[in-house]
Amino acid sequence: MIGLDDRGLTLGDGLFETLLALDGALQAAPEHLARMVQGCAVIGLPPPDPDQALSLMQAAITTAGLQSGRAAVRLTLTAGPGGRGLERPPTPVPRLFATAAPSPLAEGPARLAVSAVRRNAGSPASRLKTLSYLDNVLARRQARAAGADEALMLNGAGEVACASAANLFWLQDGRLHTPALDCGVLAGVTRAKVMAAAGRRGLAVVEAHAGLEALAAAEGLFLTNSLIGVRPVASLDGRPLAAADLVALLRGEVG
């Protein structure tokens, strides 16, 4: 339980991370913790203690009885208790907690629908996993209402950014493309893994500023996040997309 004056609840003032645990073992924990620490620096909060964070996440796995199989572990840091108004107390005392839930692997390739909700590239929050995630909730809701699995989000300038809960990649002209971070995109842990794997294979990676029309000419569109790994995209707004062998190959390499 958390107090009604917690700024995470009242103002979305905080950050989170979602990690995959396989048979109780947290995957890429140092990368996730480093990202939360960096995010705290951006929004001006004291960083979490990594050992405490790891203990909380392991305890959450045990409490949920998820020591075997796939679990999604969420680490949440709020700005802590606060008085009325937007301004934090002079010395914020963040709250850190973790929860765990089963995380079955999504079945089959995803159907995407372009969302009317835009990413706000003009805020640092668009490059962080913050507790102010309503835009993502609304984008996903639109996608589901349109019969799709996930939303494709553009930024205010109409550039392709990401899905509501995943980074986006595509192949074009023999190169791998993914939206640049300043399009308003989270620096995903799996995004970085895919870029490294592509580099090892000698495949050029372009961090792109691209409009929707770029995707019409693309093949091998896929989504990445820590829970789904690499998930191919089958269609965009109902139009089937070309598949690419390389996606299965990257999928085998990064999970």
CB-wise, 39 or 220, nearer to its own copies? 39
Residues 6+ apart with CB under 8 A from 213: none
Give the three-class secondary structure for 83.
Answer: coil
User: Distance of CA 40 to CAs 17, 142, 210, 242, 248, Å?
Assistant: 12, 30, 29, 40, 35
- Tell whether residue 122 is a contact of its own copies (CB under 8 A): yes
- Tell whether residue 4 is a contact of its own copies (CB under 8 A): yes
CB-wise, 135 or 230, nearer to its own copies? 135
What number of other Cβ atoms are within 10 A of residue 138's Cβ? Answer: 15
Residues 6+ apart with CB under 8 A from 102: 66, 69, 70, 71, 72
Instruction: State which of positions 71-100 bind its own copies (CB under 8 A).
Output: 72, 74, 76, 78, 83-88, 97, 99
Nearest to 22 by CA among 66, 74, 70: 70
CB-wise, 32 or 250, nearer to its own copies? 32
CB-wise, 67 or 172, nearer to its own copies? 67
CB of 255 to its own copies, least distance (A): 19
- Tell whether residue 10 is a contact of its own copies (CB under 8 A): yes
CB-wise, 72 or 247, nearer to its own copies? 72
CA angle 156, 162, 164 (to 5 degrees): 100
Residues 6 and 12: their CA atoms lie apart, in Å, by 9
- Tell whether residue 182 is a contact of its own copies (CB under 8 A): no
- Tell whether residue 190 is a contact of its own copies (CB under 8 A): no
CB of 213 to its own copies, least distance (A): 19
What number of other Cβ atoms are within 10 A of residue 21's Cβ? Answer: 24
Question: Taking a C-beta distance cutoff of 8 angstroms, is the pair 170, 220 a contact?
Answer: yes
Instruction: State which of positions 123-142 bind its own copies (CB under 8 A).
Output: 123-125, 130-138, 140-141
Instruction: State which of positions 145-164 bind its own copies (CB under 8 A).
Output: 155-157, 164
Residues 243 and 219: their CA atoms lie apart, in Å, by 6
- Tell whether residue 58 is a contact of its own copies (CB under 8 A): no
CB-wise, 74 or 253, nearer to its own copies? 74
CA angle 8, 95, 27 (to 5 degrees): 100
CB-wise, 63 or 68, nearer to its own copies? 63
Residues in the site for its own copies, rule: CB under 8 A? 1-13, 16, 43-44, 72, 74, 76, 78, 83-88, 97, 99, 101, 103, 116-125, 130-138, 140-141, 144, 155-157, 164-165
